[in-house]
Chain A
Amino acid sequence: MTTREPPLEIGRPPRLDAAAKASGAEKFACDHYPPGVLWAGVKRAGLPHARLRGLDLAAARALPGVVAVLTATDVPGVNRQGVVLKDQPVLVADKARYVGDALALVLASDQETLARALRLIRADLEPLPGVFDPEEALKPGAPLVHEERPQGNLLLEGRVVTGQGAAALEDCPVVVEASYDLPRQEHAYLETENGWAQRGEDGRVTIVVSTQTPFRDRAEVAEVLGLEPGQVRIVAPYAGGAFGGKDGITVQSLLGLAALHAGGRPVKMWLEREESLLASSKRHPARLHYRLGADQEGRLQALAMRAVYDTGPYDHLGGAVLTLGLEHAAGPYRIAHVDLHGLAVYTNNPLSGAFRGFGVPQVAAAMEQAMDLLAGRLGLDPLELRRRNALRRGDINPVGVTLTGSTGLAACLEEVAAHRLWRGGQAWRKEAPPGRRRGLGLAAVMHGLGYGPIIPDVANAKIELTAEGVFRVYCGVVDMGQGNAGTCLQLAGMVLGQDLAGLELVLPDTDRTLPSGSASASRTTYVFANALLPAATALKERLLARGADAMFAASPAEMVLLPGRLKHLPSGRELDLKRLASLLDPAERTASHRYRAPVVPERPSPDPALQLHGLPHGVFSYAVHLARVEVDELTGLVRVCDYLVAADCGQVLNPQIWEQQMQGGVAQGLGYALLEDFPAPEGLPQCRDLSTYLIPTSLDLPEIKCLAVPTWEQSGPLGLKGCGEIGIDGPLPAVGNALAQALGRHLVEAPFTPERVLAALNQTEPSAS
């Protein structure tokens, strides 16, 4: 027998996907160039709000190399897409609602012809008055984004009131009040939206695409194409980043439509960076107003908040984003009286949608900076204020849900309190060089996991012992860079006693893997591993039993699975897994398991719309973020010198992946805090590429220290919760609070650009140094 590695272990690195990616061997959706491939692309509106009176396609159609030019009338099924509300056309039929709306789809023999054909299309667009400010959009008489809606431009309004609501503020001896403006943020994944599609001779359409949601895509594309879901196959390779931007349809329906007109040839569509910036969804810009009240001892009593989220032209999960924001609006604290009021509003601005954090970074920014205002007013240490109010297991959270799961916030606070970056903080501040000011800022955050009570949060795992004696793990949830596919192998290897050579991975493919929901909502490994572990265990038990029979063992308990073989422990005899497989019926070699995540039995809001959009959650991760910043008085430039995050995400299955999730979230959150903004006055984006939309470089980031403060989550697989988003919820308020300490005043408009910081400095006394 060839020498084998020891079986894979849980709790250890490395990332099993790293080598293939680092060496370039891994093929992403964009790496496929099937022979004879056609290129597809769309003509976009370019205007934020305009009636489409007509399209002159003659010149484009006449261009040699153009295979087809398609419009809304060519959509065979329903020309609508969307996850909750189907309000977005695949191709505009009547009017454009934002600059990125697609008007016509072109198929051409090559990219140059495609570009030329798109330029030749003349769109007869009649500009309409647009609506660009969500508050204005709510006023009577405002231009309507969707005329047919009785609620006008209001997409969703939600309100959660507990105790005496806002009235309780009147009894609070200390109340702070502030408004915050949060910017629009771009995902800026490395791999822009793309895929390729082909129609087979049997009429089935296969789409290989960079997506987070293969099974949902299948249903949506089928509906658009007028096909049965089974006639559409979605294949989802590793995605080169997604962060929520591929949670839903990007190019899928267009590719499907193109495939119907390609005469059986493959068709590829791949957005240029400029087009991706223009048309892709962004994090919702938000305006928040907070009133937070406490007693003299700093015990939080009441919160009244109002949040307005600019959802742009389409729902695109905007209602769900708002709802998760509302659920987290009061932070990870005990507050008996809240009035949380949120509105998601249609405008003709760029499209807003899902983005790592999903509505939480906005409210965490407001709540955590309000907490520091309150600490200042009370003369309390900000950490002490959080300590006094931190949620513990068994508490009722601000929206009225009893926390039955693991709740490690207090332990995170103690880790930070004991850390040298916090304890030595005041001394470090005093050592600021001349002309520099230093500050420390904290943020405590929580993040709910999964879909909430209505949408079934389900995964179906499948494992097969192949005829070759290798375990094939069918992973139904996309790996967009988080590393969950590798973790699946690790889990299977641990249970089945296999090394990497004994395992084979099947990435999501609606023909091969089973429906397991989206890669989103900090749910991916929690839900999928909860299905995978029982599937692997069931298969293991079956193999041990059949192996025991074959080897005349007294009981399966005498058998153990090792890499490539089964061993009878008392005798030391071994049976090759290939041999064992040949003794089994194919049906016996496969095990699958369906898992549905538990649902909170409490209903904090009777509003069915809020429930549908995800309220409430029952399992939360927690984190405390600490930023130490230095401000240059001459330029207003901010340097984040040190960063610490202590997080309770339940048990850590792979410390390397866990740390990368934290660091990636913090890095993206620091961009949100200091740099990133996507202004679009009158609906017209000002940043056309990554030279003007700036994201942090490695030189802009400090060393990000990550401390795991693991609890054991009983509902989780091996005690795990989610770690995908908690890292991005804290950086903006942590930096904001640190800047407030350095500057002596709070900044309410993010990002905290040098210009805004210098303006604040101009209004404060020069430092003593």
Chain B
Amino acid sequence: MRPVHLPSSLAELWDLMAAHPGAALLAGGSDLLVRLRQGLGDPPALIGLERIVELGRVQAQEPGWLFLGAMATHSLLLEHPLVREHLPILRQALAVLGSPLIRNQGTLGGNLCTASPAGDTLAPLYALEAQVEVRSASASRRLGMGDFILGPGRTALKPGEVLYGVWVPQQPAWSIAHFEKVGRRQALAIAVVSLAALIARDESGLVTRARLAWGSVGPTVLRVPAAEEALLGRPLDDASLQAAAQLARQALSPIDDGRASAAYRRQVAGNLLLRLARRGS
């Protein structure tokens, strides 16, 4: 039997973490418990975060920033008025994450700390240029997504640190905010490829800004600057999107696994851009 500790404040959390080195942090458990069942890791204790109220907050706290606490569940975020108003692209991803049960149980922080390239909230947060806040007993630091997530299952968290929450900067007006996930089925499906795209256009329909982030086609979520730049100053038509898609396919590094081949992922990763012509028209 493995003890489970349930601190109700950050102060208690720091004490427990100091007292139980090697303990695993338990958010919703929808990744952690699966891993433990598979025999991956054998932490001496679990420290549950669910009673620490401040980790579950969602608010417009600092001017220009939205704060999403690490312990906010996917369901909470999906229904939250601030997310609904400001982060439609994140909502699109949350809506297809897992199933209602998984969304009730799983948290944003857990999704980030698992650091899977298929984590559904990641690509939107890369595109939104969000930052994460990491805290320890003595300090707090903010990192960009790319600096926090280092590789599959690897983050910049150091012993004694927890993910406190995510800061999303106020967004310029996007004409298109689009997320699409390709899975093997309609629910409870791990992404085979996903794309988060934020596009701004001027009155004549020419692209002024573009951010494109792909999931499941590399060791981490990937932005492809070459593809983004290829769209600038052009209309969002098949020709420009095909050109960007080609650049993206060259830049991405998908793998073969049980869900799909690298070749399929590469082709579809580019194809997903072509959907924008239909959404934008």
Show the binding face of A for B, using Cβ within 8 Å.
434-435, 634-637, 675, 679, 686-687, 691-692, 694, 696-700, 753-755, 758, 762
Which residues of A have CB within 8 Å of B275? Answer: 435, 634
Considering the complex, give the chain B residue whose CB is closest to the CB of A433.
B278
Closest Cβ of chain B to A694, distance in Å, is: 5
Which residues of A have CB within 8 Å of B186? Answer: 697, 699-700
* B155 CB-CB contact with A under 8 Å: no
B264, A700: Cβ atoms closer than 8 Å: no
> Which of chain B's residues 230-281 have a Cβ closer than 8 Å to chain A?
258-261, 264, 267-268, 271-272, 274-275, 278
A634, B185: Cβ atoms closer than 8 Å: no
* B184 CB-CB contact with A under 8 Å: yes
* B99 CB-CB contact with A under 8 Å: yes
Main secondary structure of the interface of B (DSSP, over half): loop
Closest Cβ of chain B to A57, distance in Å, is: 22
B interface residues, how many (CB within 8 angstroms): 23
* Residue from the list A679, A697, A758 in contact with B267, Cβ < 8 A: A758
A692, B268: Cβ atoms closer than 8 Å: no
Closest Cβ of chain A to B222, distance in Å, is: 19
Instruction: Give me 18 A-to-B residue pairs in the complex whose CB atoms sit less than 8 angstroms apart, sorted by A's number.
Output: A435-B274, A435-B278, A634-B272, A634-B275, A635-B272, A637-B182, A686-B258, A692-B258, A692-B259, A694-B189, A697-B186, A698-B187, A699-B185, A700-B187, A754-B182, A754-B192, A754-B260, A758-B264
Which residues of B have CB within 8 Å of A694? Answer: 184-185, 189
A755, B264: Cβ atoms closer than 8 Å: yes
Closest Cβ of chain A to B23, distance in Å, is: 20
Bound-state Cα–Cα, A467 to B268, Å: 71
Closest Cβ of chain A to B76, distance in Å, is: 22
In the A-B complex, the 3 residue pairs with the closest CB atoms: A699-B186, A634-B271, A697-B187
Considering the complex, give the chain A residue whose CB is closest to the CB of B193.
A635
Closest Cβ of chain A to B119, distance in Å, is: 15
B182, A635: Cβ atoms closer than 8 Å: yes
Bound-state Cα–Cα, A507 to B125, Å: 56
* B190 CB-CB contact with A under 8 Å: yes
Bound-state Cα–Cα, A754 to B272, Å: 14
Which residues of A have CB within 8 Å of B187? Answer: 697-700
Considering the complex, give the chain A residue whose CB is closest to the CB of B186.
A699
Which residues of B have CB within 8 Å of A675? Answer: 184-185
Considering the complex, give the chain A residue whose CB is closest to the CB of B261.
A755
A697, B258: Cβ atoms closer than 8 Å: no
Considering the complex, give the chain B residue whose CB is closest to the CB of A697.
B187
A634, B184: Cβ atoms closer than 8 Å: no
Which residues of B have CB within 8 Å of A700? Answer: 185-187
Which residues of B have CB within 8 Å of A687? Answer: 258
Closest Cβ of chain A to B94, distance in Å, is: 16
Bound-state Cα–Cα, A754 to B192, Å: 11
Interface 1/0 per residue, B159-190 and A, CB below 8 Å: 00000000000000000000000101111111
B278, A691: Cβ atoms closer than 8 Å: no
* Residue from the list A434, A692, A696 in contact with B185, Cβ < 8 A: A696
Bound-state Cα–Cα, A692 to B182, Å: 15
Which residues of A have CB within 8 Å of B272? Answer: 634-635
B264, A754: Cβ atoms closer than 8 Å: yes
Which residues of A have CB within 8 Å of B258? Answer: 679, 686-687, 692
Bound-state Cα–Cα, A694 to B274, Å: 28
7 new A-B contacts at CB < 8 Å, known A675-B184, A754-B184 = A634-B274, A635-B272, A694-B185, A697-B185, A697-B186, A699-B186, A758-B264
Closest Cβ of chain B to A536, distance in Å, is: 45
Closest Cβ of chain A to B132, distance in Å, is: 27
B268, A635: Cβ atoms closer than 8 Å: yes
B190, A691: Cβ atoms closer than 8 Å: yes
Bound-state Cα–Cα, A754 to B184, Å: 8
Which residues of B have CB within 8 Å of A686? Answer: 258
Which residues of A have CB within 8 Å of B188? Answer: 697
Bound-state Cα–Cα, A706 to B123, Å: 42
A758, B268: Cβ atoms closer than 8 Å: yes
Bound-state Cα–Cα, A635 to B186, Å: 13
Bound-state Cα–Cα, A692 to B258, Å: 7
Closest Cβ of chain A to B6, distance in Å, is: 23
Closest Cβ of chain A to B184, distance in Å, is: 5
Closest Cβ of chain A to B79, distance in Å, is: 19
Which residues of A have CB within 8 Å of B271? Answer: 634-635
Bound-state Cα–Cα, A556 to B271, Å: 79
Bound-state Cα–Cα, A435 to B279, Å: 12
Bound-state Cα–Cα, A556 to B209, Å: 92
Closest Cβ of chain B to A633, distance in Å, is: 8
Bound-state Cα–Cα, A687 to B259, Å: 11
Bound-state Cα–Cα, A753 to B260, Å: 9
Given contacts A435-B278, A634-B274, is CB(A755)–CB(B260) below 8 Å? yes
B278, A697: Cβ atoms closer than 8 Å: no
Closest Cβ of chain B to A205, distance in Å, is: 33
Considering the complex, give the chain B residue whose CB is closest to the CB of A273.
B37
Considering the complex, give the chain A residue whose CB is closest to the CB of B259.
A692
Which residues of B have CB within 8 Å of A636? Answer: 264, 268
Which residues of B have CB within 8 Å of A758? Answer: 264, 267-268
Bound-state Cα–Cα, A755 to B268, Å: 10
Given contacts A686-B258, A697-B188, A758-B264, is CB(A434)–CB(B182) below 8 Å? no
Which residues of A have CB within 8 Å of B184? Answer: 675, 694, 753-754
Bound-state Cα–Cα, A700 to B187, Å: 8
Most buried by A among B99, B264, B272, B275: B264
Bound-state Cα–Cα, A474 to B188, Å: 42
Which residues of A have CB within 8 Å of B185? Answer: 675, 694, 696-697, 699-700
Considering the complex, give the chain B residue whose CB is closest to the CB of A671.
B185
Interface 1/0 per residue, B192-226 and A, CB below 8 Å: 10000000000000000000000000000000000
Bound-state Cα–Cα, A636 to B258, Å: 17
Which residues of A have CB within 8 Å of B278? Answer: 434-435
Considering the complex, give the chain A residue whose CB is closest to the CB of B272.
A634
Which residues of A have CB within 8 Å of B192? Answer: 754
> Which of chain B's residues 1-52 have a Cβ closer than 8 Å to chain A?
34
Given contacts A634-B268, A634-B272, A754-B184, is CB(A697)–CB(B261) below 8 Å? no
Closest Cβ of chain A to B191, distance in Å, is: 12
Bound-state Cα–Cα, A698 to B188, Å: 11
Closest Cβ of chain B to A569, distance in Å, is: 57
Considering the complex, give the chain B residue whose CB is closest to the CB of A696.
B185
Closest Cβ of chain A to B216, distance in Å, is: 13
Bound-state Cα–Cα, A636 to B184, Å: 10
Bound-state Cα–Cα, A678 to B191, Å: 20
Which residues of A have CB within 8 Å of B268? Answer: 634-636, 758
Bound-state Cα–Cα, A696 to B182, Å: 15
Bound-state Cα–Cα, A675 to B183, Å: 11
Which residues of B have CB within 8 Å of A696? Answer: 185
Which residues of A have CB within 8 Å of B260? Answer: 754-755
Which residues of B have CB within 8 Å of A634? Answer: 268, 271-272, 274-275
Closest Cβ of chain A to B231, distance in Å, is: 17
Bound-state Cα–Cα, A686 to B257, Å: 10
Most buried by B among A435, A692, A698, A755: A755
Bound-state Cα–Cα, A87 to B278, Å: 60
Bound-state Cα–Cα, A637 to B271, Å: 12
Bound-state Cα–Cα, A754 to B271, Å: 13
Most buried by A among B187, B268, B275, B278: B268
